[in-house]
Each structure stands twice: as structure tokens, then as C-alpha cells.
Amino acid sequence: MKKKGQKKKIIKVEKKNFFDKLKDNYKKIKENPKEVLINTKSSLKSFLKINKLFVFFTFLNVLNGALLRALTLGTSTVFDFDAILADLSFVLLLGSFSFLFKEKGKFIYLVIVSFFLSFLCVLNSAYYTFYTSFSSISLLSTARFITDVGDAVVENVLQPKDLIYVLPFLSFVFLHHKYKKDEGYLKSPFMYKSRINFIRILATGIICLLLFFTTLTGTDIGRLTKQWNREYVVKKFGLYIYHVNDLVKSLEPKFAALFGYDSALKEFNDFYKEVEPPKTNEYTGIFEGKNIIVIHGESIQNFLIGLKFNGQEVTPNLNRLASEGLYFNNFYTQVSVGTSSDTEFTFNTSLMPANIGTAFSNYADKEYVSIPKLLKEKGYYTFAMHANNGDYWNRRVMHKNLGYDELIAKDKFEIDEVIGLGLSDASFFRQSVQKLKKIQEEHEKYYGTFIMLTNHTPFSEVDKYGEFDVDIKETKKNEFGEDEIISHPYMEGTKLGNYFKSAHYADYALGIFFEELKKEGLLDNTIIVFYGDHDARLPKSNYIRLYNYDIETDEERTEEDPNYVEFNDYNYELNRKVPFIIWSQQTIKKPKKIEYTMGMYDVMPTLGNMFGFYNKYALGHDIFNIKDKNIVIFPTGNWVTKDIYYNSQKEESYIITNSVINNEEIRANCERTDKILSVSNNILVYDLIRNSKVDTVNESDVIKGK
């Protein structure tokens, strides 16, 4: 026992630092590598036995990442070493922190992390089904919109396969309860070693991550930082690192003023210095001063035009407009995750959708040059009508920023007939004409957008669409020699069949709109512009049945059948075209079908030439100037010309015509695609239209063709 007044003896122990320990270990390996190998093997075996919980956690979450790639990108990606290594490194890094917790805390931490990672897999699987892309953290800002389309999400997006990712999580919980009574399962034999294990696993995760980065090329890094080629990023980097990068990119707009502004501005200025003002052509100024009615056709695809069942047209009214006006039959929408709102944005600004999130939600405070703004300068009253919630896709805010004087939304309509998401298109158009009549009385010229609603996924209320059969009927003699009508199911009962019924109803509603406009004399000085906003996002298997149904066997033809019509992934992409039609009651002088490949960003320059306005920031072209030299790019980095559809994820070219592949042309188009996507996104992120000092082109000189 220490006596009073006796000083405490302090023994100072010299501790070795990290690098000294490394030297000691290196020395041991050099002197006796065999013994070190045996000890390492023994330590690893002991670690795995004691830390079964962590082993389950690591294996099951890496497995989930592989499953997601298999069920979205294809089974060939399951054993991609790069993605597995990326997922493993992320799971190890995240899981290492569990060793800082004691006993039950370790399980609680790991089960929370496992649940979150499983949820990410379910979310992305369902999202990929609908968008053929992967979700984004930035879309949380649009989560409030899901309640307005809840039925569509449940019925048309979430599928049983999306729940498979829950099984590994449940297995993890089950295995925990099975082995938790085993000695040492949760408890490390020495508590101080928990911190050591944390460092070891953390270091292992870092080593795996460094090994993964040695496999990357400059192209891989570029695609990660740009993020628009999401399929490629997930295929190469795995889902988990994709989402870490996505989180960083989602925060980018908040730090835009701090990082990257100068380089973005330089790229912006250099790009627009190379853009030449448009030239005049046969359509210059032909509609100047006329009223404009734009019809936003919900989920109307181009292959509907001219399609018949039992001699009955699916879209007789659209067929008439196409035959009497300018009908662009190789027209592509360019939507990203914002679907309808992306179409409105690109249509009105000739810019691409946002790389992260949506322009309508994430960049509603930026400045844009738009059709409504330019027409307001020419004395037009601008408005939009839509029988849905005005806050859906943040339209109430964004429409005002785009230059619309008024958004006439759901609260201004009597909801007297509901189909699908809200007021039926037939009732919407009847009520809209009366509102339009009042607008014409009060304003000399107007530009109005009418947004349809009924033909929205999931196309399930077939009893409200009216009679339209999508079977095949044939007349045969029965045993008594009498004519009998035999019905073959064909597309009945399929999602695509229901879509035909819904589209037929939407076309019927359009017929009502035109009848009411004509009755009220509102077509006399008016140009109608119609476009489909995006495709219906329906399964490829339904299209295979559409083109390969055999009436004799009541089954689909197989690939061995000489009459089999191939419908591969590229056919599916090309089939996503939508109609674009310009029509007037006075009949356009030369009604024609225009075959040029055209995108939504080409609409503003094309209409601008016809109506006398010009946007120097347009990314598209007047189609009658560029003609068959046009390229349509997509937010994914894919692009299409009259000859080729290029898939940037697979780095494959699909030949549309009989042309020969020109590798130099493909390389140039890929570079142009990257440039346009970069410039467009920088305009949104850095608000470059408001902040730039680009030399302007005098509008009057452009219109006069100087």
C-alpha cells in the first residue's frame, strides 16, 4: 500500500507508431513467409468464425448488387469483376463501422444498413422498369408527386421481381437469430480488438477500392463525373458507388457558385460562338401573327398513326391531321426522369432535360429563353390549361418562369367526369373551349398549351374508354351453313391492348376539341401544333405479340418461324417515336409527311422560323435547314441519325438504313453528344443565360435573313 506523501511511480511505455508496425510485419514476412501465411490463414479463419454476422452482411449485400445488375442490365453483368470489386469495397467500408459498436449495437447498425441497401435495390429495380435508367437522390424533391400517380406506380411499375432484393435482407435477419446463441457470435473475445477489426476491415475496403480504381480508364472517370450514362456507371461502378456519386452530383447545384463556374462559362461561350444564325427557307414567316394552340398528347406514340383493328382506326382524328398538315414521322421525344415536364421544358426552350433531377423541380429559379417569352414580346397572351393539380411537376412555378401569363389548372375546372388520374379529356376539352373563347375576346393574339391527361399509364379503366375491340374477328360458316363471327383474342387483355383502347379514347376526345373549336369559330386564324410527350413505357413482350400473333394457333410465332418479325431492344427504342404535326384549317399549302430525323429540341427553332421568333441558345435546329443531316441526342448519351442508332452504354451502333458504318462519324457524333449534354446541363446548374456575356444576334436581322 502506498504511504502518505509517497510519489506515484510512472512507467512510460514507448508505443510503436503505424509505420514501425508495418516495418516489423514486413520483417517477419521476409524472415519467415511460411509462418506468416499460416498465422494469417489461422487469423482469418478465427475472424470469420467469430464474425459470422459481418460475413453474412458483406456477402448478401454484394449479392444484391449483382442481382440488380442481372435483372436490369442483363445476366452477363453478374460476374463483372469490376462491379463486384466496387460493391465489395463499399460494403466493407460501410460495414467496418459496425466494429465500433458493442454486441446488440453491432446487429442494429448492420440491419439498418442492410435494409437501406435493399431498399435502394428495390427502388432502382422498379425505377428501371419504367424509365430504363436508375434513380437519383435528387428525385426526392419530386416524391410528393407520386401520390398523384400512385395507382400507376403500383400497377405499372412495381413488379414481383422487384421484391427479390428483400430476400437477402430477410436471410440476414434469419441467420442472425439462428446463430446468435453461438459462442462469440456477437461478442469479440477481447473488446479492445473491436477497434483493431474496424481498422483492418476499413483498410481492406480501401485496398479493394484502390484495386478497383486501377481498372478504370479516362472514359470511365468521365462518365462517372458526368453521370448521364447511368447504365454504364452502374455496370462499371456498381449500384452503391453510383449512388454515392449521385449524392455528390445532387449537391452540385448548391455549390455551383464555388466550383466549376469559370470553366462552364468558357465552354458555354465557346459553344455558342460556333453556332450560326438560321437561314431562311420556304416556311419562313408563313404563320407570323397567327394564334397558336399546342396540344400536349399524353403518351401518344407514332406507331398508332394508321394502325387499325378489324378495319377500325385507332386514331382517326390524328390520322386526318397527319394527312392534311405537316406530319413529322421520325420525331423523337428526349425525356429523362421528368417525363411530361421534360417534354414541356425541351419543347419551350430547346434545351436538354436536367442531368440530375428535373428542370421543373430543381432549376425552376433559373433564367431561360422560351417560346412564351418570345411570343409575349410580339404581343401574344400566353397560357396553359391542364386539369391536374397545378403544383404537379412544379408547373405553377415553372410555367410562370417560362413566360406563361396564366396556368388554368384543376381548380378552375368542374370535375364532372373522372377517368384515370383526373378529369376526362373529353370534359377537359369541352370546358377548355369555353375558356379559350373568353381569352380570344380579351386578347388579340394568343399562345396556349393544352395538356391532356386521360391517356396516362396504367391504362386500366377500359370500361370507361368506350367500345374498341383489339381482337381479330373473322367470318366463318358454321355447321348449319350460316355466317358466324369468330373472335381471336390477339391484343385483348394485354397492357398494350388496353393502351390501344385508351389511345382511341384520347383521339375521340381530340375530335370533340376540334368540333368545339370549329363551332365557336376558333380555328379561323389558328395554327394547331400537336406532339406526343413520350412513349407509353410498355413491355417489349407486348410488341412481340403485336407483330407475331398467329391467328391459326392463337399463339406468338417463334424465332424459328419464317414469318417471325424480330423486335429487339433497338426496335423497341426506335418504336418510342411520337407524332409531331403542324395543322391549320385553311390547309397548309403543301401537306406532306416529313421523313427527316427530328427531336423535341428542334421544335423551337422550326416553329421560330415559321412564326418569326429566334432563340440564340437553342440546341436544336430548324429541321428544314438541317434536313437529313440532323442528330437527335438523348439524356442517356445515346443518339440517332437517319442511318444509325448509337447506344453509348453498350458502345454499339444499330444500322437503320443500308449505310456503311463510318467510325469517324460515330466518334464525332459521340463528341458532339457529350458537348451538348455538358453545355445544356451547365446552363441549368450555373444559370448561364442570366449570367453570361455572350454576344447577341439581332432578332430582326435573323428574321429578315441577314
Q: Considering only residues 179 and 356, tell me which one the structure prediction assigns the higher pLDDT.
A: 356
Residues forming beta bridges with residue 7, ordered by sequence position: none
Q: At residue 155, does pLDDT exceed 60? A: no
For residue 311, the surrounding DSSP H or E stretch is none
**Angle between helical axes of 103-131 and 52-72 (0-180°, round to 10):** 0
CB 672 within 8 A of CB 620: no
Q: How many whole angstroms separate alpha carbon 201 and alpha carbon 207?
A: 10
Mean pLDDT (the chain) is 86
pLDDT-wise least confident of 83-92, 626-635, 677-686, 693-702: 693-702
For 265-704, give the CATH class. alpha beta
**pLDDT recorded at residue 700:** 40
Burial class (CB in 10 A: 0-12, 13-18, 19+), 97: middle
- Read off the pLDDT of each residue in 571-600 and give the average, rounded to a whole number: 91
CB 407 within 8 A of CB 399: yes
* Residue in 668, 670, 637 with CA at minimum distance from that of residue 352: 637
Domain parsing of the chain, residue ranges: 51-255, 265-704
The grid cell for 332 is: 423523337
Q: How many whole angstroms separate alpha carbon 539 and alpha carbon 171?
A: 31
CB 119 within 8 A of CB 243: no
**pLDDT recorded at residue 11:** 43
Q: At residue 406, does pLDDT exceed 80? A: yes
**pLDDT recorded at residue 695:** 42
For residue 336, the surrounding DSSP H or E stretch is none
Residues forming beta bridges with residue 484, ordered by sequence position: 476
pLDDT-wise least confident of 42-46, 81-85, 524-528: 42-46
Number of H helices and E strands in the chain, helices first, is 25, 22
**pLDDT recorded at residue 701:** 44
Q: How many whole angstroms separate alpha carbon 381 and alpha carbon 375?
A: 8
Radius of gyration (C-alpha) of the chain in whole angstroms: 31
**pLDDT recorded at residue 31:** 60
- Read off the pLDDT of each residue in 543-547 and give the average, rounded to a whole number: 94
For residue 110, the surrounding DSSP H or E stretch is helix 103-131
Q: At residue 703, does pLDDT exceed 50? A: no
93-111 pLDDT, tens digit per residue, is: 999 998 888 777 888 899 9
pTM comes to 0.83
What backbone torsions phi and psi does residue 416 show, to the nearest 5 degrees?
Answer: -100, -10
275-326 pLDDT, tens digit per residue, is: 888 899 999 999 999 999 999 999 999 999 999 999 999 999 999 999 999 9
Angle, CA 633 vertex, CA 630 and CA 636 arms, to 5°: 165
Q: Which residues contact 312 (CB under 8 A, 6 or more apart)?
A: 468, 469
Angle, CA 511 vertex, CA 379 and CA 328 arms, to 5°: 65
Instruction: Read off the pLDDT band of 28 (50, 70, 90).
Output: low
Q: At residue 29, does pLDDT exceed 60? A: no
- Read off the pLDDT of each residue in 202-213 and give the average, rounded to a whole number: 92
